[in-house]
Chains A and B, each alone.
Chain A
Amino acid sequence: MELREFFSEDVINLDLQGETKDSILKELITLLALNEKSEGILYKMLKRRENLGSTGIGRGIAIPHCRSLVVNRLRVAFGRKKTAVDFKAIDDRPVSYFFLIVAPPLEVSNQYLPVLGKIAQLCREADVPDRLAKIESPAEFLELLDEKSV
């Protein structure tokens, strides 16, 4: 199982417009193309997870994540904000790169934790923040995942 399998061009937004943590979360959720009610429930769950501690892991990267019944399979998305926003990250630096992960509570294939772990592993690689900054299209993001083979 590799991360590349879970991403497609339609869940990548390289020009997020939000200026706050909350608006960025909402914008990321829209990439999953859920109905309005499900979007609202998912937003509340992501906020509750953020209240336990920021998912900003440092170096300009955040991994908002939760389990929710509003999805019927593991869903991921990636967003980039050109001017970084305050996300209360653990290193106090603003965040530009956002990996969203959502999975149903009952997940037969058990992919949630491995995918969360693989994204964390990818984000620890020294060159990743710079590479994410230079990407010019969703296709290039997918190529980066291919290249990293995480």
Chain B
Amino acid sequence: MHPQLEILLELQDLKAQKREMEEAAEESSREIERKVFRVEPEDAIAQLQAKIEEMEATLEPEVMSRYGPIAQARERAVTPVLDGLCYGCFMAMPTATVRTNEELRWCENCGSFVYYVD
């Protein structure tokens, strides 16, 4: 796997975790974490944000220049590709595209970095 893609994947997972901690609905992950696991949501959010910033600082400038605007505009800067479909925009990836995570690729339609799921 491309090392920068690995960082992007981890960033995406961390952001998903942080987003869930921020949801205040009664049946939310935040409430399960608080009630079942006794995690203090605000502490968790602060820890996750610190880790996100630490990892974003390790992105190469050319990766950051694409990632930054996408990450600001929408929740997912990295999307999985399943059965040839980008799950960011649900458009088909070009059939000529080689299915590999060894290179850093993005969807030509929505601009998200893509990750090919086994």
Contact = CB atoms under 8 A, between A and B. Distances in A.
Interface stretch (A2-10, A12-20, A37-45, A128-136): A37-45
Which size bracket describes the interface of B in this complex?
A: 35 or more
Contacts of B38: 53, 90
B37 A70 contact: no
Interface stretch (B4-12, B63-71, B92-100): B4-12
A113 B29 contact: yes
Interface in B23-39: 27-29, 32-33, 36-39
B109 interface: no
A88 B17 CA distance: 21
B17 to A, nearest CB: 6
Given A38-B118, A53-B44, A69-B115, A106 B37 contact: no
A118 to B, nearest CB: 11
Contacts of A82: none
Contact of A41 (B10, B76, B80): B10
Interface residues of A, number: 32
B47 interface: yes
Contacts of A52: 33, 39, 43-44, 47-48
A113 B76 contact: no
B91 interface: no
Interface of A: 34-35, 37-38, 41, 44-45, 48-49, 51-55, 57, 63, 66-72, 90, 104-106, 112-113, 116-117, 120
Given A37-B101, A105-B16, A120-B36, 18 more contacts: A44-B10, A45-B10, A48-B17, A53-B38, A53-B40, A53-B44, A55-B37, A57-B36, A67-B17, A69-B13, A72-B80, A90-B38, A106-B79, A113-B28, A113-B29, A116-B29, A117-B32, A120-B32
